[in-house]
Amino acid sequence: MKHIAIIGGGPAALMLAAELDTQKYRVTLVERNKALGRKFLVAGEGGLNLTYQSSVAELIRQYAPADFIDPIIRSFTNADLRNWFHQRGVRTFVGSSNRVFPDLELKPIQVLNKMLEYLSTKDIEVRLDTRWTGWNTAGQLCFEHREDLQPDLTVFALGGASWKVTGSDGNWRQAFTARGIKVQPFRAANCAFAVDWQQDFIVTHEGKPLKNIALTFQGHSAKGELVISKFGLEGNAIYALSQKIQKALLKEDRVVIHLDLKPTLSVDQIRDKHQRSRRSKVTDVLKKDLNLDRASIGLLKQFSDKASFLDPERLAATIKAIPVVVYAPDDLDKAISSLGGIVLDEIDEHFELKRIPHSFVIGEMLDWFAPTGGYLLQACFSMGYVLAKYLNEVKEKD
């Protein structure tokens, strides 16, 4: 019986361990923390968004590079993930913006416990509080204050470099680069971006939400919500564009994103509502006829001049495309996820490292992008499932 060591205890690793055939493999799951699934629990603090309800094609379009994620998601879809959880006692429902959550009475820790209960039915050795430190000269896996391991197969699922408190610090990078593996530097993804707010605006509107809006950057659009913070703008709409904004900020000090306060209305419809209004004050027109809140009106005033604000034609165009200047991402450790990691060319179609045979990498260690936590979890779970299926089939042929 071959021995598989899984290094890491996040979503990708847990799904892999759950799906490996322990009648064919001896499995050791190694986690640096004192408990499994720390980052999974942190992801659930604002609501545990497991995946999205959409067509598979639409789901895949949210990722980059899509051609890498395509076969992975098609092999274990959003419907498959929901069914997997249902079979383990976790019912789900579709919430706002097609986000899929566990039933309301289930807290994230209860969902994690359902997964761990299933793992406990399998013959898996779990080693907690065990930090992997690299390889020795004989190629064995080394651990801090623990004996070395020399499994037949190793799967690394050590995460990216966001939320260091969960153990996802990216410090594994040095060990891989020392063995010739190309690793892109880590940068924040799904993060806030800095805006130079006028002082009176931010004092009044800090913490206010901007709901049912759309953002556009370089021809790419995302609908959703934003929150105004002292630092800048955060929320799922800007998270969806964060990879492209980050790429542009590598070349420029500042970039302009365009905020659409009324994505369901055209410029002509906004202008017509304005012109038909009997109200004399522009702010009253915006509040009563266009249903804009104080924060939205404040944004219009900050990012348009007085002449544009008083001209119905120009104001209508500005409402559909407020030019907001952003200049820096928030700290990596505050980001939901990270950009960067092991270059995809370093692995084959089965996640195996080309330079280190019998070693595989899944999850956020790889250089790919998902907008928001639900897409991130879906892809990590899918990678774990797909790799388990492959390894089970390879063993079947042996």
CB 358 within 8 A of CB 369: no
Amino acid identity of 149? L
Peptide bond into 371 cis (omega under 30): no
Amino acid identity of 315? L
> pLDDT tens digits, residue range 189-234?
889 999 999 999 999 999 999 999 999 999 999 999 999 999 999 9
Residue 125 pLDDT exceeds 60: yes
Q: How many CB atoms sit inside 10 A of residue 166's CB?
A: 18
Amino acid identity of 93? F
Residue 71 pLDDT exceeds 60: yes
CB 342 within 8 A of CB 367: yes
For the chain, give the percent of residues with pLDDT over 90: 84
Contacts of 271 (CB under 8 A, 6+ apart): 312, 313, 316
- What is the residue extent of each domain of the chain? 2-189+333-397, 193-326
Residue 166 pLDDT exceeds 90: no
Structure tokens at 64: 């980059």
Rounded to a whole number, what is the distance in angstroms from the first to the last CA of the chain?
11
> pLDDT tens digits, residue range 112-124?
999 999 999 999 9
Spatial separation of the C-alpha atoms in residues 6 and 365, rounded to whole Å: 13
pTM for this one?
0.90
- 2-189+333-397 CATH fold: FAD/NAD(P)-binding domain (3.50.50)
Residue 359, strand partner residues: 154
CATH 3.40.50.300 corresponds to the domain 193-326? no
CB 112 within 8 A of CB 40: yes
Contacts of 284 (CB under 8 A, 6+ apart): none
Helices (H), 206-281: 236-239, 242-249, 267-276
Spatial separation of the C-alpha atoms in residues 48 and 117, rounded to whole Å: 19
Peptide bond into 102 cis (omega under 30): no
pLDDT score recorded for residue 373: 79
For the chain, give the percent of residues with pLDDT over 70: 99
